[in-house]
Amino acid sequence: MIKKVTTASAVRLKLALSLLVALNWSCNNDKTDPEPLPNGAGVLVINQGNFTDNNGTITYLPPNGAAPTYDIFNQVNQRSLTGSLQDYTESDGKGLILVDNTTAGQDKVEIVDANTFQSLATLKSPDIENPRSAVRVSANKVYVSCWDVSGDYANGTFYKDPGYIAVVDLTTNTVTRKIPAVKGVETLLLVGNEVFAGSAGGATKLTVVDAINDQLKTGIEIGRNPSPVAVDANGKLWVYSGGEMVRINPQSKAIESRLKIGSDPARSASRFRLSADKQYFYFVNSYYDAADNYKEKGDVYRFAITDTSVPTTTPFIKRLFSGLAVDPTTGTIYGGVTPSYKQAGYVYRYQASGTLIDSVKAEIAPTVFYFK
């Protein structure tokens, strides 16, 4: 949920920012009464962290270009999130942080006050197992996709249990229901009164859920591992599957077109993001270079919703990003850069034209962006 800042709240934001900057640089170790964070506006950078180290964090970028604030959950609550961060969303004044821990039974969703980041509740196992994506579906109701208990890659049964979508009631901060889903259920996208759910576990149908009564509806046959992306300026739903962008009429559920992404089978497209005017898609096209110790390389490309093909010959931005997002208000493009999973990453900001604006240090593996 994207919120606009009033003049009064902007004043409060500046005052809170001044307090927070002082707190960040102070040598005073008394942390018994943390100051509220200035989260009335700005961008939250969800740093995935190194999965085996369980060290995901959240960085706050102020709207006025001031210095970032690091690990904001820890600053307020004096404890780390202890896991790899998968997603973040807000609903009705509360924020939900999806935390995936390497230890079985330690996955969770942290519910915080969206304005202060003070912890309000923690949803734990068995309600939450391998959380992946979250979306606000109505007042005080959020869906969280979960893989459920995972297995072992070695024996080919990593997605050993069907996934589910946890229905979170934010009036009670509890999981009230688990909607059955496909193995490896992933990205969630709300369109009208329906939620479309993707898969990473080999499913070929796009899951459709009635968000009013939390019931499954007839799915849409798309192709292997369909992932809902966005709804464009013409009201069309776009889904990525098997090297193609598929355009769907969300009302009739009919497939209208399929656009193949490039022509190099060694390259993989990901992180599709819609421009602020909903006329263009940006995406990362990457590959692993065998000549350079299989280092991941790639660039950002762009295509229009009216295009009939998607060539990948001329990059829009010549840089590989671990995270990609577009500010829906300004059109500014945000790219997360991960030099390694053992050191801090960076956020690069670009104009909609692709011109670099600036860069700022984040934390380990900046992957998801939330615009407040």
* Average pLDDT across the chain, whole number: 89
Whether 135 maps to a domain, the answer reads yes
Whether 19 maps to a domain, the answer reads no
For the chain, what is the largest distance between any 2 Cα atoms, rounded to a whole number of angstroms?
61
pLDDT band per the 50, 70, 90 thresholds, residue 65:
confident
- Quote the domain boundaries for residue 106: 83-260
Whether 26 maps to a domain, the answer reads no
Number of domains comprising the chain: 1
Q: How far apart are CA 80 and CA 73, in angstroms?
A: 7
Q: Is the pLDDT of residue 66 over 90?
A: no
Whether 23 maps to a domain, the answer reads no
Instruction: Give the CATH number for residue 177.
Output: 2.130.10.10
Residues 235-276 have pLDDT tens digits of 999 999 999 999 999 999 999 999 999 989 899 999 999 999
What confidence score (pLDDT) does residue 82 get? 97
Residues 21-57 have pLDDT tens digits of 444 433 334 444 445 455 568 999 999 999 999 999 9
Half-sphere exposure of residue 86, counting CA atoms within 13 Å on the CB side?
Answer: 25
Whether 222 maps to a domain, the answer reads yes
Cα→Cα distances 101→55, 56, 77, 107, 160, Å: 9, 10, 19, 5, 18
Q: 323 - beta bridge partners?
A: 336
- CA geometry: angle at 241 spanning 235 and 244, to 5°? 80
